[in-house]
């Protein structure tokens, strides 16, 4: 907190809030108010967030940012902290600025003990100059968004460089070939401090039990370098349909997971490791467990929605890793399946790298990529019911099918289709709140 009185922010913050109110009336949020405030008062964000007792946590990664940010936020709240967090998916700098603005007083105050921010990896390093992180959590590096980054190691480097901006703690994935090498950037290795380095991970048995492992990207650049033995502050030791057991500093914490799937269990370990290093002796296994038990599933991540007299189980994916790990988490081939991808996922060539043996059939394939999916499934010998590119008609086809014994229909969808499908079946609220 640099300057004592907040009057310098009165005009810019008010200007931002006015623009924000106007944007809301027009419908929908906007990053523009954040731009208005930051351009009128460039130090505003730094000063507001600099007031937080526990500083700012960045959550970075190829996959699981929203889920983990949500988990960490709830665990910290479960310990009595007031947590500021950005709306799910609003992870670009202007969007984050906009949400900080929305919760600040006109004098540049925001009553919170800590900020937990999901940050887009491409902008994180630049954003760290404006809002310096005290803690950086990096989840994973997956072969993902090649259309955005081309080289997987470029994404890994962006995240590792950002992690080094943390003033206090780096928390990262012991099982990720790129991320687990971060200690090599410091002379003292894992013993380094300012920032210190902590790991989350999974036991050998858990990894061995997963049909396709963790699906993290292979590090070809430093392939010759041994991964090294790191102690995990939080280690996933067991996971089943209902939840997981995660050893935090050796003490088992039982968590209920908002969705099934190994990646969600690892995200939970990431959230617990981060909470434990930030809270120190104040970390309580019981409070953490209780927070997970009370947590609502995030949008589309194993969420069950009413669909007539049946339920729809949403299985949402954004890349090969999340689709494969979601398929691996299916306890048996689902009785009624809709599978959909639209142009929100521009390049789907990676679907040929997926093992579809967890599905014995798909009832309806839909979305703009429907014929491409059908082609891949047909070549892979997965039985196909109907291909119907129009989502609304496809949903009607699913509705017309007899109620399955489980009472549940499984919709495997990308993010954009998930949002559209929710609207179609009458769930209109926006994904925002954590």
Partner 1 sequence: MSPDSVPVTLLQLYPEELGVAGDRGNVLALKSRLEHAGVEVTVVEHRIGDSLPTDVDLVLVGNGPLSAMRNVYDDLFSIGDHLRAYRSIDVPLFAYGSGAELLGHSIALPDGSTLDGLGILPFRAERVTERAVGYISVDTPFGRIVGFEDNASRWILDPEAKPLGILEVGSGNSAGSVEGVLDAGAIGTQLGGPALPLNPLLTDALIGFVAARRGFDYRPSDVNATVDRYATLAREVILANAKHVFSRI
Stretch near partner 1 under the rule CB under 8 A, chosen from 207-215, 272-280, 282-290, 372-380: 372-380
Residue 39's binding partner among partner 1, Zn ion, none (Cβ under 5 to 8 angstroms by kind) is none
Q: How far apart are CA 20 and CA 32, in angstroms?
A: 8
> For partner 1, which is the closer residue by CB, 303 or 388?
388
C-alpha torsion angle, residues 334, 68, 112, 170 (rounded to 10): 170
> For partner 1, which is the closer residue by CB, 272 or 382?
382
* Residue 59 and residue 119 in contact, taking contact as beta carbons nearer than 8 Å: yes
Asked if residue 147 binds partner 1 (CB under 8 A), the reply is yes
Asked if residue 107 binds partner 1 (CB under 8 A), the reply is no
Using CB under 5 A as the binding rule, the residues of this chain from 366 to 385 that contact Zn ion are none
End-to-end CA separation in angstroms for the chain: 27
Asked if residue 146 binds partner 1 (CB under 8 A), the reply is yes
Q: Which of 286, 276, 324, 264 is nearest to 68 (CA)?
A: 264
217 CB-side CA count, 13 A: 24
Stretch near partner 1 under the rule CB under 8 A, chosen from 77-85, 144-152, 169-177, 322-330: 144-152
* Residue 212 and residue 223 in contact, taking contact as beta carbons nearer than 8 Å: no
Q: How far apart are CA 390 and CA 367, in angstroms?
A: 6
Among 98, 152, 165, 198, interactor with partner 1 by CB under 8 A: 152
Residue 380's binding partner among Zn ion, partner 1, none (Cβ under 5 to 8 angstroms by kind) is partner 1
Q: How far apart are CA 138 and CA 200, in angstroms?
A: 10
Asked if residue 208 binds partner 1 (CB under 8 A), the reply is no
Angle, helices 262-279/65-78, rounded to nearest 10 degrees: 40
Cis peptide before 195 (omega within 30 of 0): yes
Radius of gyration for the alpha carbons in the chain, expressed in angstroms and rounded: 22
Nearest approach in angstroms of CB 29 to Zn ion is 39
Going residue by residue from 304 to 343, which x/- string records binding to Zn ion, judged by CB under 5 A?
--------------------------------x-------
List residues near partner 1 by CB under 8 A. Answer: 122, 143, 146-148, 150-153, 218-221, 223, 343, 346-347, 349-353, 368-372, 374-376, 378-380, 387, 389
List residues near Zn ion by CB under 5 A. Answer: 336, 363
């Amino acid at each position: 907190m640099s300057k004592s009185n907040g009057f310098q922010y009165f005009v810019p913050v008010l200007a931002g809030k006015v623009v924000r109110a106007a944007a809301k009336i027009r419908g929908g949020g906007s990053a523009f108010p954040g731009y208005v405030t930051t351009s009128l008062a460039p130090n505003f964000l730094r000063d507001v967030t600099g007031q937080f007792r526990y500083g700012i946590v960045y959550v970075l990664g190829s996959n699981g940012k929203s889920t983990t940010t949500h988990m960490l936020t709830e665990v910290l709240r479960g310990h009595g902290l007031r947590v500021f967090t950005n709306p799910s998916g609003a992870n670009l700098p202007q969007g984050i600025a906009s949400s900080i603005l929305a919760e600040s007083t006109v004098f540049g105050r925001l009553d919170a003990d800590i900020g937990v921010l999901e940050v887009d990896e491409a902008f994180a390093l630049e954003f760290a100059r404006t809002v310096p992180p005290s803690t950086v959590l990096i989840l994973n590096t997956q072969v993902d968004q090649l259309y955005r980054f081309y080289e997987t190691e470029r994404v890994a480097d962006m995240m590792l460089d950002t992690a080094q901006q943390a003033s206090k703690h780096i928390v990262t994935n012991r099982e990720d070939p790129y991320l687990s090498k971060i200690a090599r950037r410091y002379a003292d290795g894992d013993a380094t401090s300012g920032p210190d380095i902590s790991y989350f991970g999974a036991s050998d048995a858990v990894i061995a039990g997963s049909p396709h492992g963790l699906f993290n990207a292979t590090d070809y650049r430093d392939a010759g370098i041994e991964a090294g033995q790191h102690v995990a502050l939080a280690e996933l030791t067991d996971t089943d349909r209902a939840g997981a057991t995660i050893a935090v500093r050796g003490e088992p914490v039982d968590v209920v997971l908002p969705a099934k799937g190994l990646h969600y269990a690892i995200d939970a370990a990431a959230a617990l490791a981060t909470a434990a290093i930030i809270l120190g002796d104040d970390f309580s296994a019981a409070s953490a467990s209780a927070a997970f038990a009370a947590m609502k599933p995030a949008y589309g991540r194993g969420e069950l929605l009413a669909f007539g007299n049946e339920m729809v189980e949403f299985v949402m994916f954004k890349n090969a890793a999340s689709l494969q790990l979601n398929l691996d988490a299916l306890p048996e081939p689902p009785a009624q399946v809709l599978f959909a991808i639209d142009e929100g996922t521009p390049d789907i060539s990676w679907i040929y790298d997926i093992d579809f043996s967890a599905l014995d059939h798909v009832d309806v394939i839909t979305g703009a990529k429907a014929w491409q999916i059908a082609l891949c499934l047909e070549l892979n010998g997965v039985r196909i019911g109907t291909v119907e590119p129009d989502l609304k008609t496809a949903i009607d086809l699913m509705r017309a099918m007899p109620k399955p014994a489980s009472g549940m229909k499984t919709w495997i969808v990308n993010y954009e289709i998930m949002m559209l499908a929710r609207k179609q079946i009458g769930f209109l609220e926006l994904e925002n709140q954590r």
